[in-house]
Amino acid sequence: MRFILMLLCLSVFVSRAEAQEFRTNVIIQTPSLQNADPKVFETLQNTIQEFYNNTKFTETEYEEFEKIQLDINMTISSEITQTRFKADFAIQATRPVYNSNYSTPILTHVDKEFAFDYEQFAPIDFSENSFSTNLSSLLSFYAYMVLGLDGDSFSPYGGETHLQAAREIVNLIPQNLAETLRSGWRSIDSNRNRYWLVDDMLNPRLRDFRQVWYDYHRQGLDIMAQNPEAGRAIISDTFTVIGELNRSRPNTMILQVFSNTKNGELVEIFKRGDTAEQNLLISTMTKVDPANSAKYRQVK
């Protein structure tokens, strides 16, 4: 279905070929490194990039123009031991918008609760159904989260299988894993972590968010090249549901991730909107994302 839709919208024929889902760039920064050899992280940078670019996470065949762009920036924040490190893991994923040269962000997020073990030249093994290492689990978790968000953007709840796979990765984290490594996988660690990210996406009480996600992308953005007013109106209609979700479930992680991912794009879209659309954007998103209130007001 995904391939057929792309052909209809782009009006091109491309012969099928096996291809992975991601096109990935990885940067690892080590601003406060004291003991470890910097070359360890050069190797790790290449290994993570190869993990995403060479692993096939689904049975779907992605053509080059369909691939999801992943940009990952890891900042090593501390050296716990010679082979155990703590890092901020920043990820942005984008997918192409039909009939345009524009790619829309589907996840912009910084994971600050990430610790991992790594020895230079050690492989990162992908295993969907068992625990290998904390590093492998985190990379696989975000792969499936991105695939879930991508799938939901093309069809209603189309990312369900991938989101369930992300939840299974959370469930497979061993109870006897070192406390430092378990951080971010449990509900008790914080209200902004991997556990809550996938839990929110699969929570029946937040299911309307996933319909909003589909409407925003497939019904809104993907028609804007041909009919910008109609696409913008559909995106504007999603604010009503976003506002209702925020009132019933304030400070929900998935709404914060939505805001972090889409705030810049929303402002650019509605700079060309009418006054009613601009006012609705401002009134909704300043409540959902008060930290960026000034940015939303720039729409006028």
Instruction: Count how many domains the chain has.
Output: 2
> What pLDDT is recorded for position 32?
87
Give the Cα-Cα-Cα angle 112, 66, 170 (nearest 5 degrees). Answer: 35
Beta strands in 32-83 (DSSP E): 68-79
Asked if 102 and 217 sit in the same domain, the reply is no
Q: What is the pTM of this model?
A: 0.93
One domain, residues 71 and 143: yes
**Helix 207-214 and helix 194-202, axial crossing angle in degrees, nearest 10:** 80
116 and 256 housed in the same domain: no
pLDDT of 2 reads 52
Supply the pLDDT for residue 8: 38
Residue linked to tokens 């709404």: 255
Same domain, 139 and 47: yes
pLDDT reported for residue 19 = 64
- 13 assigned to some structural domain: no
Domain end residue (candidates: 152, 182, 202)? 202
Quick check: is 35 in a domain?
A: yes
DSSP secondary structure string for all residues of 183-196: TTSSTTT-SSSHHH
* Domain span holding position 128: 19-55+65-202
Would 1 be classed as within a structural domain?
no
Whether residue 129 is found in the same domain as residue 268: no
Domain boundary among 156, 183, 202: 202
pLDDT value at residue 134: 97
Question: Does one domain contain both 285 and 175?
Answer: no
Is residue 298 exposed (0-12), middle (13-18) or buried (19+ Cβ within 10 Å)?
Answer: exposed
| Residue ending a domain, choose from 177, 202, 227 | 202
Q: DSSP assignment, residue 251? A: T
DSSP-derived secondary structure letter, 11: T
Same domain as 216, residue 160: no
**Over its length of 300 residues, how does the chain's per-residue pLDDT go in tens digits?**
454 444 434 333 333 334 689 999 999 999 988 899 999 999 999 999 999 999 999 998 888 989 999 999 999 999 999 999 999 999 999 999 999 999 999 999 999 999 999 999 999 999 889 999 999 999 999 999 999 999 999 999 999 999 999 999 999 999 999 999 999 999 999 999 999 999 999 999 999 999 999 999 999 999 999 999 999 999 999 999 999 999 999 989 999 999 999 999 999 999 999 999 999 999 999 999 999 999 999 999
Same domain? For 84 and 136 the reply is: yes
Task: Give yes or no: residues 196 and 242 share one domain.
Answer: no
